[in-house]
Structures are given as structure tokens and as C-alpha cells.
């Protein structure tokens, strides 16, 4: 007989959900259910397409096998003369979520990111408040004994040592140093501009997802933890303003599950959609769809953050291809670079770049994103159907500062590749979308001579980096646009929390995987302290 009464029901088995399922079920008296719409990824049956953490990931994962099928979004903001087409958005739908399909980059961001969160009303989420949870989650193979790092957490972190860099990568470091960027070695403990070997969530050359780290065989064996994969939450159950459970589609059966507390960890696009369908969100929008208002929270679905991105590629010359083949497998993961565009002196380190070359594809690449964006977007329900996706608009480049940052980043790339150590390869740099780096785009030097053509190209081809966040942000009780309090509890109702990237007040200057692990650890501690 299926158990349908739990203390905690966690909706979404991605990065955050994996953490919470582990930490909450560590207390034997807590009955915990983790619900995931996608497939399971147990240690002994991880699909080979996602097991290798070092090969280019997106071409291998195209289609719907590991993603929410046919989920589309708008990226660029509306602008005269620009045609906006819906684009497929690769949101993980499997245990481990984004950590099972992402680029395995392990980046915390900067202390000022979290000090900004505190200033925006996320009390206790400043750098000193979040650092212990970054440390708790990691097992850093290179810096584990450093006071800013951890050596006993569930997630292994490592880097490709400079001794194994390819000759091409070494030439790139010489170009960066000639431009005044030092080697800062550890991006997660040095907070100035510079280049570094990126940190990855890897064990050897294998991807190490949150599911692998937090839901190993010993955790799965806990009698008080239930794991339902390939199961879809249809709605939250309510009594008055209390959330009392969830309705779940398992196969062809709909099951009503009772819970003392429901925790949404479905990601920054799905969690706010669940809130809205429950009647938690902007009252006018809910009324328009015929959804009874449970709590008027105007911030639900607003404040959608993403890092605007663009790519530059070039076919490798014969010499460059040979030089790119000299390093250890995996050095295609390139060099990480933190840089400042100079667009707004108040926001330094607003660019993040990768430079490298892949002898397999025969391409050199420089991909980058606006590390500290100013543009925000939104999502809204199209209808109340639980099988409908929300209407998502990232509204990228709506703030002119972000367009200026992309332009500045392209000029930096041109400057780096003009250094003697890289200029010797004679690479013809062409623009490309970050999500699908392919040669054949317009030549970078030509576009840099035509400001109007450059702007048109960027507005048409700007990409993101799958860092959706902010759509149910933390804030103080007197902030009408805040959705949750510092412990993730949703304002206006009882028995409901959100504990994923939705609650970030702003997107960090980082890939969001490590910050999401951190915030899930912190929310788990808050829940256990209140139990």
C-alpha cells in the first residue's frame, strides 16, 4: 500500500530537492517524500549521455529525453525591427535537475552578491551567512584545507591542473597576462578580476550531480524517505489559507498526498507557476484566469533574472588544432575569466568569459555572459491547466547597460586574441550563439566596425546560460513584492516553502548550481531548527 501521509513533501527532485530530501530525512522521525517528474538516475544506472562530465554536453542532450518537452521562452526584449521567435529552453527533467545536465561549472559568485541580498531584505543571507553552507556542500580536491573551502561535503570539486593545459591554453594565458589579467588560481576564494582554471563538480572525469552526491544508496535506503520519479504534481491541496498536501499523477493514477509542509524545489520557471495555479500571486492576473486568490503576492513570477550571453568561434588552423590536442582530456573546458566592462563603475566584475579550443570539433571559442545584469523579465500563466507551461520572457537587453556590456566583452575578446601568443594562429573570429557554437556567423571585426549591425545582431541572437532565478524572491514581510521570508516560507499562507533559485533576490555573478546547493542547505537548516 502506498504511503500518502508525510511530514515533508518536496516537489522537484533537482539540485535543491536532492539536498532537502537528504537533510530532512536524516532525522528518522521525519517522513519525507521527494517527487520528480523525470527519470531516476541511481548510481548504478546513470545514462551514459550525462555521465561523462567533460565532453560537450548540449549536442548529446538535444531533444526531450532529459528536458521538459517543448518548453519555450522568449529571450531578447522587444525592440523595433527585431523579430522575436520562441526558443526551446533546456530545463532538466530528471533526478538531479540542472546538475545532471549542466556544464558542471562550480562557481560561488562574489561576497558582494550576498551582501546585496541582505540589503534587499534577505536577512541572514549576507556573505558571512552563506559561506558556511558553501563550505558544507563541497569536497574540494585542491583547496579543501583552505578556511574558505570544505573537504568533507557530498559534492567533489576539482580543476584541470595547469600542468595538463594544452599549448593553446598556455598561449591564451599569455595573452590574458599581456592584457593585465593575473592568474587568480581559485575563483571561489579570490574575488578580483583575473583568469583561472574553472572549478567543476567532477569525480575524475565523471559528472557528479546533486542526486549523486545527496541521494546515494545509503540515503535511498532510509525507511523514512520515499522517492517518486516520473510523477507529476497536478496541484497543491488547500484548506483555507493552509497548504495541506499535493495531488500527484503517478502513471495513470492520481494520488492525494497529505503533508505537514510542502516545499517547492521545481526551479525558477516551474515553482512560481505552481504558486500561481494555487492562487498565490498578483491578484489581477489570477482573477483574469478565473483562479481564486489565496494570497495576493505581486512578486510571484516577476524579477526573472538571467545572464545575457553571446559566443565567438573560429575554425582552428592546423597548428592551433595540434596545440589544442596536447593537454589532458577535458582541457577543452578552457580558461575562466572574470573581467570588468567599465560600463558602470559601480558594478565591477560584470563579465565572465571562457576561452579555449576543442580539437574534436576543430573550433576555438570565446563565450561570455553579462555576469552582473541589469535587465529582468517575468513569467505569467497562460491558463490554469497544470500541463501548460507559463509564458516566459527573460527580457534580455531591456536595460541598455547590458547591451553595452556585451559590446565591451566582444572588444575585450578581440583584444585578447590580437595578443602575439594567440594572433600567431590567425583565427578568423565569428559571432555565434552560445547555445549552439557553430562557424559561419558574421566576422567579429566586421561587426565591430558597424555599430547598428552589431546591435541588431546582439538583440537578435543574445542567449542565456540557463541561470533562471528570482521569481519568488526572499524579502521582508513589509515588502509587497517579496514572496518568501528568510526561511523560504511563503507569505500569506501556511505549510508552504520555496527553496530553489526562485528565491534569489538577484542572480549571483556565478553559475547558479553552487548557489542553489548552498541555499537548499541553508533552508534545510532553518526547517530543522523550527521542527
Output the domain CATH number for residue 456: 3.30.410.40
Is residue 40 situated within a structural domain? yes
467 as an active site residue: the answer is yes
List 74, 333, 354, 467, catalytic entry: 467
57: pLDDT strictly greater than 70: no
Predicted confidence band at 437 (pLDDT cuts at 50, 70, 90)? low
Half-sphere exposure of 336 (CA within 13 A, CB side): 27
Q: Are residues 329 and 189 in the same domain?
A: yes
Q: Do residues 266 and 362 share a domain?
A: no
Same domain, 290 and 411: no
Flag whether 493 is marked binding.
no
**Cα–Cα distance measured from residue 291 to residue 289, given in angstroms and rounded to the nearest whole number:** 6
| Whether residue 293 has pLDDT greater than 90 | yes
Give the percent of the chain with pLDDT over 70.
95
Question: Assign residue 202 a region: left if phi > 0, alpha if psi is -120 to 50, beta otherwise?
Answer: beta
Among 182-196, 253-267, 378-392, 418-432, whose mean pLDDT is lowest? 418-432
Query: Do 424 and 343 lie in a common domain?
Result: yes
Q: Is residue 102 part of a domain?
A: yes
Q: Report yes or no: 108 and 134 within 8 Å, Cβ to Cβ.
A: yes
**Phi, psi dihedral angles at 248 (to 5 degrees):** -125, 135
Name which residue leads in pLDDT, 316 or 6. 6
Count CB atoms within 10 A of the CB of residue 241.
14
Last residue of a domain, one of 426, 461, 496: 461
The string of pLDDT tens digits covering residues 111-122 is 999 999 999 999
CA distance 300 to 484: 10
Residue 341 lies in a domain: yes
Kindly state whether residues 178 and 317 are assigned to the same domain.
yes
Q: Which residue has the higher pLDDT, 428 or 245?
A: 245
- Does residue 447 form part of some domain? yes
The answer to whether the beta carbons of residues 368 and 353 sit under 8 Å apart is yes
Same domain, 15 and 37: yes
Q: Would you say residue 360 lies in a domain? A: yes
d(CA 24, CA 530): 12
Length of the chain: 531
Same domain, 440 and 405: yes
* Residue 49 pLDDT greater than 90, yes or no: no
Q: Cβ of 497: how many Cβ atoms within 10 Å?
A: 23
Determine whether the annotation assigns residue 262 to a binding site. Answer: no
The terminus-to-terminus CA distance of the chain in angstroms comes to 28
Those residues with Cβ within 8 angstroms of residue 266's Cβ, 6 or more apart along the chain or in another chain: 11, 12, 14, 17, 233, 274, 500
Domain finish residue from 461, 490, 512: 461
Q: Are strands 363-370 and 309-315 parallel, antiparallel or unpaired?
A: antiparallel
Could you tell me if 477 and 485 are in contact, meaning their C-beta atoms sit under 8 angstroms apart? yes
Judgement on whether residues 218 and 334 belong to the same structural domain of the protein: no
Residue 266 covered by a domain: yes
Q: What is the CATH number of the domain that holds 273?
A: 3.50.50.60
pLDDT tops 60 at residue 267: yes
How many domains, in total, are found in the chain?
2
Strand ranges (DSSP E) for 189-230? 194-196, 202-203, 206-207, 225-228
**Residue 434: per-residue pLDDT:** 63
Q: Is 233 annotated as a binding residue?
A: yes
- Return the half-sphere exposure (C-beta side, CA atoms, 13 A cut-off) of residue 514: 34
436 pLDDT exceeds 70? no
In a domain, 364, yes or no: yes
Could you read off the pLDDT of 318-360 as tens digits, one per residue?
A: 888 888 787 655 545 579 999 999 999 889 999 999 988 888 7
What's the pLDDT score for residue 441?
Answer: 75
My answer on whether 295 and 317 are in the same domain is no
Domain-located, residue 136: no
Q: Are strands 335-339 and 280-281 parallel, antiparallel or unpaired?
A: unpaired
Domain identity same for 351 and 476? no
**Domain that includes residue 474, residue range:** 6-56+92-107+208-304+468-529
Mean predicted lDDT score pLDDT of the chain: 93
Of 433, 461, 489, at which residue does a domain stop? 461
User: What is the torsion angle, in degrees rounded to the nearest 10, for the CA atoms of residue 432, residue 434, residue 438 and residue 440?
Assistant: -10
Q: Please tell me whether residues 216 and 261 are part of one structural domain.
A: yes
Is residue 102 annotated as involved in ligand binding? yes
- All residues at 6 or more sequence positions from 396 whose CB lies less than 8 Å from its CB, including other chains: 75, 76, 77, 306, 308, 373, 375, 377, 402, 462, 464
Q: Where residue 145 falls among pLDDT bands split at 50, 70, 90?
A: very high
105 is in an annotated binding site: yes
Of 108-122, 195-209, 246-260, 291-305, where does mean pLDDT reach its minimum?
195-209
Q: Is 257 annotated as a binding residue?
A: no
Domain co-membership, 287 together with 332: no
Amino acid at each position: 500500500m502506498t504511503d500518502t501521509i508525510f511530514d515533508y513533501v518536496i516537489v522537484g527532485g533537482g539540485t535543491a530537492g536532492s539536498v532537502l530530501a537528504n537533510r530532512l530525512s536524516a532525522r528518522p522521525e521525519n517522513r519525507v517524500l521527494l517527487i520528480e517528474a523525470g527519470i531516476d538516475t541511481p548510481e548504478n544506472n546513470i545514462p551514459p549521455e550525462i555521465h561523462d562530465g567533460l565532453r560537450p554536453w548540449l549536442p548529446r542532450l538535444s531533444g526531450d529525453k532529459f528536458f521538459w518537452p517543448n518548453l519555450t521562452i522568449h529571450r531578447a526584449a522587444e525592440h523595433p525591427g527585431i523579430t522575436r521567435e520562441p526558443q526551446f529552453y533546456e530545463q532538466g527533467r530528471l533526478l538531479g535537475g540542472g546538475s545532471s545536465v549542466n556544464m558542471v561549472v562550480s562557481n560561488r559568485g562574489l561576497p558582494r552578491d550576498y551582501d546585496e541580498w541582505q540589503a534587499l531584505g534577505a536577512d541572514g543571507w549576507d556573505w558571512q551567512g552563506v559561506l558556511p553552507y558553501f563550505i558544507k556542500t563541497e569536497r574540494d580536491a585542491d583547496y579543501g584545507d583552505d578556511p574558505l573551502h570544505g573537504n568533507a561535503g557530498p559534492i567533489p570539486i576539482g580543476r584541470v591542473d595547469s600542468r595538463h593545459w594544452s599549448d593553446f591554453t598556455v598561449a591564451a594565458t599569455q595573452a590574458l597576462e599581456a592584457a593585465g589579467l593575473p592568474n587568480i588560481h581559485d575563483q571561489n576564494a579570490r574575488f578580483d578580476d583575473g583568469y583561472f582554471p574553472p572549478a567543476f563538480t567532477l569525480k575524475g572525469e565523471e559528472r557528479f550531480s546533486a542526486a549523486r552526491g545527496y541521494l546515494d544508496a545509503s540515503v535511498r535506503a532510509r525507511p523514512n524517505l520515499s522517492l517518486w520519479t516520473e510523477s507529476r504534481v497536478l496541484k497543491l491541496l488547500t484548506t483555507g489559507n493552509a497548504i495541506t498536501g499535493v495531488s500527484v499523477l503517478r502513471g495513470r493514477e492520481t494520488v492525494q498526498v497529505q503533508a505537514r509542509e510542502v516545499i517547492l524545489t521545481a526551479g525558477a520557471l516551474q515553482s512560481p507557476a505552481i504558486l500561481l495555479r494555487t492562487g498565490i500571486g498578483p491578484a489581477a492576473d489570477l482573477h483574469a484566469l478565473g483562479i481564486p486568490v489565496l494570497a495576493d503576492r505581486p512578486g510571484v513570477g516577476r524579477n526573472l533574472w538571467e545572464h545575457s550571453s553571446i559566443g565567438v568561434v573560429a575554425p582552428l588552423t592546423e597548428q592551433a588544432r595540434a596545440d589544442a590536442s596536447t593537454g589532458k582530456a577535458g582541457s577543452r573546458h578552457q580558461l575562466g575569466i572574470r573581467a570588468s566592462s567599465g560600463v558602470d563603475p559601480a558594478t565591477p566584475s560584470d563579465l565572465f568569459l571562457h576561452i579555449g579550443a576543442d580539437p574534436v570539433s576543430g573550433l576555438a571559442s570565446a563565450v561570455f555572459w553579462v555576469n552582473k545584469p541589469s535587465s529582468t523579465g517575468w513569467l505569467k500563466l497562460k491558463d490554469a491547466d497544470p500541463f501548460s507551461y507559463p509564458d516566459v520572457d527573460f527580457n534580455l537587453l531591456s536595460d541598455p547597460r547590458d547591451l553595452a556590456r556585451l559590446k565591451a566583452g566582444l572588444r575585450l575578446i578581440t583584444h585578447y586574441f590580437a595578443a602575439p601568443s594567440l594572433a600567431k594562429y590567425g583565427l578568423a573570429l565569428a559571432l555565434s550563439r552560445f547555445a549552439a557554437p557553430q562557424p559561419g556567423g558574421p566576422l567579429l571585426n566586421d561587426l565591430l566596425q558597424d555599430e547598428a549591425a552589431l546591435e541588431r545582431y546582439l538583440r537578435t541572437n543574445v542567449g542565456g546560460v540557463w541561470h533562471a532565478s528570482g521569481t519568488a524572491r526572499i524579502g521582508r514581510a513589509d515588502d509587497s513584492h517579496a514572496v518568501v521570508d528568510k526561511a523560504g516560507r511563503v507569505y500569506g499562507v501556511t505549510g508552504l516553502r520555496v527553496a530553489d533559485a526562485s528565491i534569489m533576490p538577484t542572480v549571483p555573478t556565478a553559475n547558479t548550481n553552487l548557489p542553489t546547493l548552498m541555499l537548499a542547505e541553508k533552508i534545510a537548516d532553518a526547517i530543522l531548527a523550527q521542527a
